[in-house]
Amino acid sequence: MNHTDVANLDWRSLGLKVGHEVHYQLRTRRKLFCRCPAEFRHREPDYEVLRHMRPTLSELGEYDGTALMEFKTKKNVRYQLYADIDCTYEMDDTPPFPINGEALDIALRIGLLLNLNIVDEMHISRKQYLDGSIPTGFQRTAIIGVEGWVPFRGRKLGIIQLGLEEDACREVSDVGHDIVYRADRLGFPLVEVVTDATMHTPEEASAGARLIWRLLRSTGQVRTGPGAGRQDVNVSINGSTRVEIKGVPDTGLIRRLVAVEAFRQQQLLAIRDELRARGVSPESLKLESRELDRATVLGTGSPYLRRAADAGESVAAVRLAGFAGLLNRVIEPGLEFGYEFSERVRVIACLDRMPNIIYRGGSDEGLTDEDWGVIRELVNCGVNDEAVLAWGPAPDLRTAVNEIHLRAVDAAAGVPSETRQPHPDGTTGFERILPGPDRMYPDTDSPPTAISRERLDEIRKALPEPAWRTEERFRALGLPEDVAQSLVFSPRRGLFEKLTAGPGADPKLLGVALEQWSRWLSRQGFAVRQLSDEALAGLFERYRKGGFGREAIVHLMRGLCRGGALDALLAARGLGEVITGRKLETLAAAALKGATPDYAREPEACWRFLMGRAMRELRGRAQGRDVAAAVRKLAGR
């Protein structure tokens, strides 16, 4: 099984449904609920705070399942803080300030661009986060608008809601029971755009996310750079539950992630059906485990078990009734079903030294058939049963054994509702149980905020053109699709609009030069972004007046990046006017002197040879199409 096999699935018959939650930090001066600067820090922190998280009851007197799962990890959570950008509010020692008005106005502007129905009164809620990423244990969040849409491939892509919330800390490390967060981005204003689940192929899912991403970027009021924007991708197929792929940093990964997740869910449903055929149900599975004595452990040839015994750790075997052979089934490219059990143990029991479990046919190095016979007998395994070994400190091992059992129960039910971490190769790993409604409750520290009609009217007056309309306008000017899309949020968009408004402008050339050629030069190491709009405007104005051919533009841009003056660069290349007519034919003839290709034998190769000879002398001094015409005339073609 590889990625090619996954990509060839029939998405319609699978009933694939994908929706997005697109998050973007807003470009504001201050944080959302305090007056600290919204700035990153890259120096060593000023101080550190240690905390432990525990769940609280919801308004209905119930615990959220995710909160209970996180509590089982028993994490020591350390926060790295800075005296100049962090305050007592973020440590939950001070009530929140009124919401940042600048951030609210930006969110309202985005809501109007998304055709949302803006709420009359904004209410702040608390959303529990016990993974430690927010010191308070909850995130303050508010709904700004509901039931919007954006045009998408001849139809409307529904926008369920737009939220305004505070960002979490960024993770520094997570090893065992110790996790470290840096609190510089904590409290940054963040918008969350939630789409409906009406994207039905991986390619559609990728395109839908890019559309929302471009619209947000086009406002010029969201941050850019690593971590500023990220997507949660919700995936399901017929017969499965919703699975959330959390924090996808790049829309380019979405196509592969969705395809692999759909395949994973298909395989999990097949495993469920096989278990049903074997008479296994969630209710029939009982936790059956036994701790191995030291003599049994040392009697095996497994280096992992022997190392655990030498470290004073315990080893246990868990019986999975009816699971024989299923843990070896491939559910993601390069990953077996047993990986799902290993991930639960890694995340919840905090046993993160791999491998952390052993089963037949998996990472069972050193275990002989005789060893497995002894182990299986200890937990009363029958022919259709599987035994899984785990090891670690006694408290963690108890958690691990329980999680192995719970994952087996989930397997008998089908596809568990989970939040999963994306990997660069398109596979995913377990992160936590998918949160439910019990994690949300009102924030009694924050009063409602009225959103007046007058405020919305003022924002409407300054609304930019919607990104999709700008793209349509750029496409009508002849720009390639990728240029039309990237130019919408490009810092050179204003320059492009100014230059194309003038007489004699070539919009396609300008767009390609400002976007495609600039990106190519950046990849070559040239600081194109540091070029001023004035320098580029001067370059294109000289081109418009006939100072050189289009082939010279890239070379001149390279020279400007190196600090050269335009006049000096033109003089060094002998540029100043575009050569045409008889003068061009004379120079072309001189360039081709002595060239005697055999057109009859290899006409295309000869043509490329002659054009190469001519362009070597005339590139930038004449337009390429004129050089081609002169070469054809001289060659008698």
Contact 391, 302 (CB under 8 A): no
How many residues are present in the chain? 637
Q: What angle do the packed helices 493-500 and 533-544 form, to 10 degrees?
A: 30
Residue 584 corresponds to which tokens in the numbers above?
A: 């061009």
Radius of gyration of the chain (CA): 31
> What DSSP string describes 176-187?
TTEEEEE-SSTT
What pLDDT shows up at residue 269? 98
Check pLDDT > 90 for residue 450.
yes
H-only helix segments in 581-623: 581-592, 603-618
Alpha carbon distances (Å) from 395 to 308, 342, 616:
14, 17, 75
Hey, which residues does 155 pair with through a beta bridge?
Answer: 152
What pLDDT shows up at residue 581? 64
| Dist CA 513 CA 555 (whole Å) | 11
Coil, strand or helix at 563: coil
Angle at the Cα of 547 from the Cα atoms of 545 and 551, rounded to 5 degrees: 115
Check pLDDT > 90 for residue 81.
yes
Percent share of the chain, pLDDT over 70: 88
Q: What mean pLDDT is predicted for residues 505-513? A: 94
Percent share of the chain, pLDDT over 90: 72
Check pLDDT > 90 for residue 193.
yes
Angle at the Cα of 554 from the Cα atoms of 549 and 556, rounded to 5 degrees: 80
* 323-350 pLDDT per residue, tens: 999 999 999 999 999 999 999 999 999 9
What pLDDT shows up at residue 241? 95
What pLDDT shows up at residue 571? 78
Q: Quickly state the pLDDT bin for 121 (edges 50, 70, 90).
A: very high
Check pLDDT > 90 for residue 225.
no
| Residues contacting 470, CB < 8 A, separation 6+ | 218, 488
Q: Quickly state the pLDDT bin for 132 (edges 50, 70, 90).
A: confident
What pLDDT shows up at residue 2? 60
Check pLDDT > 60 for residue 597.
no
Q: Quickly state the pLDDT bin for 54 (edges 50, 70, 90).
A: confident
What pLDDT shows up at residue 633? 65
Q: Which of 510, 616, 625 is nearest to 573 (CA)?
A: 616
* 584-596 pLDDT per residue, tens: 556 556 656 656 5
What pLDDT shows up at residue 612? 62
What pLDDT shows up at residue 456? 96
Question: How high is the mean pLDDT of the chain?
Answer: 89
Residue 431 corresponds to which tokens in the numbers above?
A: 């992160």
What pLDDT shows up at residue 441? 86
What pLDDT shows up at residue 617? 54
Q: Which of 456, 469, 483, 462 is nearest to 221 (CA)?
A: 462
Contact 622, 580 (CB under 8 A): yes
Side chain identity at residue 176, one-letter code: G
Q: Quickly state the pLDDT bin for 71 (edges 50, 70, 90).
A: confident
* 231-287 pLDDT per residue, tens: 999 999 999 999 999 999 999 999 999 999 999 999 999 999 999 999 999 999 999
Give the burial class of 600: count Cβ atoms within 10 A of its Cβ; 0-12 exposed, 13-18 middle, 19 or more buried: exposed
Domain residue limits, the chain:
28-202, 281-414, 465-572, 581-635
Contact 71, 55 (CB under 8 A): yes
Give the burial class of 537: count Cβ atoms within 10 A of its Cβ; 0-12 exposed, 13-18 middle, 19 or more buried: middle
Q: What mean pLDDT is predicted for residues 437-449? A: 87
Contact 199, 18 (CB under 8 A): yes
Pairwise pLDDT comparison (352 vs 626), residue with the higher score: 352
Q: Is 493 left (phi over 0), alpha (psi -120 to 50) or beta?
A: alpha
Check pLDDT > 80 for residue 208.
yes
Q: Is 95 left (phi over 0), alpha (psi -120 to 50) or beta?
A: beta
Q: What mean pLDDT is predicted for residues 357-381? A: 89
Least confident of 68-82, 120-134, 541-555: 541-555
Check pLDDT > 80 for residue 546.
no
Q: What mean pLDDT is predicted for residues 495-507? A: 91
HSE-CB at 423 with a 13 A cutoff on CA atoms is 13
Angle at the Cα of 105 from the Cα atoms of 101 and 110, rounded to 5 degrees: 150
Check pLDDT > 90 for residue 120.
yes
Q: What mean pLDDT is predicted for residues 385-396? A: 96
Q: Which of 411, 325, 404, 332 is nearest to 360 (CA)?
A: 325
What pLDDT shows up at residue 34? 95
Q: Does domain 281-414 have CATH number 3.30.1360.30?
A: yes
